[in-house]
Amino acid sequence: MSQSQNLSQTFLAITRNSTDLEWLQGALAPLGQVVSAGTGSLDELLALVDVTFASLVFIGLDREHVVAQSALIEGVLEAKPMLAIVALGDGMDNQLVLNAMRAGARDFVAYGSRSSEVAGLVRRLGKRLPPVTPNTQLGSLTVLYGVQINADGALLATHLAQVVQKSGQQTLLLDLGLPRGDSLALLGLESSFHFGDALRHLRRLDATLIDSAFTHCAAGLRILAYASHDMPLEHTSTAELYMLLSALRQHFQHIVVNLTGQPDSEALRTFVTHCDKLLWYTDQNVLDCRRNLAVLNQWREKGMKLDHARLLVDRYLRNVAPDSDTLSKSFGMEIIATLVYSPEVRLNAKNQGMTLFELAPREALTQSLGALGCRLAKRSEDLAKPKSGWFNRLRGAQ
């Protein structure tokens, strides 16, 4: 299943806890993504249906809140009659089953049911639901991720995003890597509007706000970064994050996200499963490789689709083991690029607040980053043609 097909199969779920959500995600991993719809606010759920193009929603029921949960099912179906609702709950509680059916649920699934039963039910329901028509005009999403916490993640993401911007695509660098805000420091920029502000202003996120509030560098690249006071990514609700990404993808033709150093979380997995290209960032340090592989193997065991992942090996030394072939086999991934060490060039770029393109345009590291950036830009052009002038048309319509 390709990533674009994955995206068209998005299911929403309101569950008792993260364990129930993971059970559902595991059961439906072969069919698509299960996105947590938060606490069960009708407005939030309807907004998520709009941005995810989901046609099936799972809503958990329990004895203590069954009146409010039944009212939620009725409210959703009143607003979206073509939606299919599947209730979740204790299969031995007949009263819950009856309440779910009266409220309009298509079916009822007991918590802990076998994966094959849940997937079979969703397949059967899918045949009776109207076809999903995802928005093909959404911008491309490239994620750079690795467990290492260092400034080089921001350095690489900044340069790749600049190359895509220079190719003529309106580009955003979403810098959520650790340490926080390094992309701004590397470019000698300051910003008064950050990631947390964007989450708080989700309903107002239009071209006017982006133009006035998002900081940009000389090349025209927009940057949205972490502030020191923003809450950690793992505390961000998946629903809010999904709505933010969908809003940003309507305004930018390409978004490069730096997530290097982030601990594993539901929010991180949302980025990873919904991006078009995942660049898994590592170097030859065996200790860091082990930490990366621990996360990677855990995700694979949970059934996460990682066909869109490629290995990006940084600070590469040819005469040091493990070599690129060994790394590729260990990670089970094709290598997209190996970037030379070049410590002096990197240090100068970080300390002087200048890009490698200005400081050392002929260096092998600079050339490799330019080639990789062009590859990302070409890929997003191929994903969505025609796109010329699309951003300007959108701005004119605001």
Give the rounded distance of the alpha carbon of 384 from its chain centre: 18
Blockwise average pLDDT, block size 10, the chain, 398 residues:
49 92 92 87 90 92 94 95 94 92 96 94 89 73 97 97 97 97 95 96 92 94 96 92 92 97 95 94 97 97 92 97 98 98 96 94 98 92 54 40
Is 0.95 surpassed by the pTM of this model?
no
* Whether 254 contacts 169, CB under 8 Å: yes
For residue 21, CA distances in Å to 16, 28, 238, 340, 362 come to 8, 11, 12, 41, 50
222-225 and 107-110: which strand pairing?
A: unpaired
Strand 215-216: give its sheet, edge to edge.
215-216, 222-225, 171-175, 254-258, 140-145, 277-282, 309-316, 335-340
Q: Is residue 145 part of a domain?
A: yes
Rounded-to-integer distance, Cα 337 and Cα 143, Å: 15
Among 105, 128, 151, the domain-final residue is: 128
Tokens of 18: 């993260």
User: Beta strand 309-316 with 277-282: parallel, antiparallel or unpaired?
Assistant: parallel
Assess whether 244 and 172 both reside in one domain.
yes
**Residue 390 belongs to a domain:** yes
- Range(s) of the domain holding residue 92: 3-128
Write down the pLDDT at residue 305. 87
Domain end residue (candidates: 70, 101, 128): 128
Shared domain check, 163 and 73: no
CA pseudo-torsion sign 367, 373, 379, 385 = negative
Q: Is position 176 within any domain?
A: yes
User: Do residues 248 and 281 both lie within one domain?
Assistant: yes
Q: What is the pLDDT of residue 129?
A: 83
pLDDT score, position 179: 95
**Domain contains 91:** yes
pLDDT reported for residue 91: 87
Domains identified in the chain, total number: 2
Q: What CATH number did the domain enclosing 86 receive?
A: 3.40.50.2300
Is 134 a member of any domain?
Answer: no
Q: Are residues 378 and 247 part of one domain?
A: yes
Q: Is residue 135 part of a domain?
A: no
Q: What is the pLDDT of residue 132?
A: 67
Domain-located, residue 133:
no
